[in-house]
């Protein structure tokens, strides 16, 4: 019998808009609930989400799940994600954001653009953060989508990071900024030195 706490945690994640593969869900359970889970138990729990019509298997990708419907979702617009890539923070934001925009009737084309742009912003936040949780906030009012991503900054050692492959000189960061500047109407990155915090903000007219 599947752990009731696991089932309740999965329901909460799915209803908040989370979808992805088994590794994603395992990472989210670990971060959100400090709940390590065995693969067989997680597989059973996800199967129950399918039986409850909350998730359905991806049509082509094994071990991937998508939302069965938007009817049972209650997206949250302010939350924290892990600062560690292994905890799948980028997929959590991407999944919740796409569900949020879809529920607001945003076109598929714009949703794809916002997903790509936000993924770029999250990749930068994870890459340069101090491994503390990253704060996410977004809204859609008057046809304008706004997003804020706030993260602590680690000490940057350029030479070490180049050797570790995190930079191709500064091209990686600049390429991401170019993509975001094309997809958002306006964006800004504020560095608060006193707090050692970076605040990314952007907006896009979506309707």
Q: How far apart are CA 192 and CA 162, in angstroms?
A: 24
Supply the range of the domain harboring residue 9: 1-73
Domain boundary pick from 45, 73, 101:
73
Q: Could you tell me the two tokens for 85?
A: 């890539």
Percentage of the chain surpassing pLDDT 70?
Answer: 88
Mean pLDDT of 107-112: 97
Return the CATH number at 138.
3.30.565.10
Tokens of 186: 């306006």
State pLDDT tens for residues 153-201: 876 554 555 455 554 444 445 567 888 999 999 999 998 888 889 999 9
The CATH number covering residue 55 comes to 1.10.10.10
Q: Look at the chain and report how many structural domains it folds into.
A: 2
Q: What CA–CA distance (Å, rounded) separates 118 from 121? A: 5
Of 40, 73, 106, the residue at which a domain comes to its end is 73
Q: Tell me, what's the pLDDT at 195? A: 86
State the average pLDDT for the chain.
Answer: 90
d(C-alpha 11, C-alpha 5), whole Å = 10
What is the rounded distance in angstroms from the CA atom of residue 37 to the CA atom of residue 35?
Answer: 6
Q: Which pLDDT value is given to residue 166?
A: 52
Structure confidence at residue 170 (pLDDT):
45
pLDDT range class, residue 26, cuts 50, 70, 90: very high
Residue appearing with tokens 């359970």? 29
73, 92, 115 - which closes a domain: 73
Q: Are residues 25 and 84 in the same domain?
A: no
pLDDT band at 61 (very low <50, low <70, confident <90, very high): confident
- At 114-145, the pLDDT tens digits run 999 999 999 989 988 898 999 999 999 999 99
178 shares a domain with 139: yes
Domain co-membership, 6 together with 101: no
């Amino acid at each position: 019998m599947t752990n009731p706490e696991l089932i309740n945690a999965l329901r909460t994640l799915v209803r908040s808009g989370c979808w992805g593969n088994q590794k994603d869900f395992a990472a989210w359970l670990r971060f959100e609930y400090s709940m390590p889970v065995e693969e067989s138990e997680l597989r059973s729990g996800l199967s129950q989400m399918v039986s409850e019509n909350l998730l359905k298997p991806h049509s082509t990708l094994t071990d991937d799940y998508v939302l069965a419907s938007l009817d049972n979702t209650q997206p949250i617009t302010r939350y924290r994600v892990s600062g560690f890539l292994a905890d799948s923070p980028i997929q959590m934001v991407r999944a919740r954001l796409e569900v949020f925009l879809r529920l607001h009737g945003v076109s598929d084309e714009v949703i794809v653009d916002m997903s790509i742009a936000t993924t770029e912003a999250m990749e930068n936040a994870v890459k340069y953060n101090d491994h503390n949780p990253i704060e996410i906030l977004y809204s859609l009012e008057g046809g304008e989508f706004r997003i804020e991503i706030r993260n602590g900054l680690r000490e940057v050692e350029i030479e070490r990071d180049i050797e570790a492959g995190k930079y191709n000189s500064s091209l990686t960061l600049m390429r991401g900024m170019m993509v975001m500047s094309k997809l958002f109407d306006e964006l800004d990155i504020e560095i608060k030195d006193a707090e050692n915090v970076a605040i990314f903000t952007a907006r896009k007219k979506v309707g």
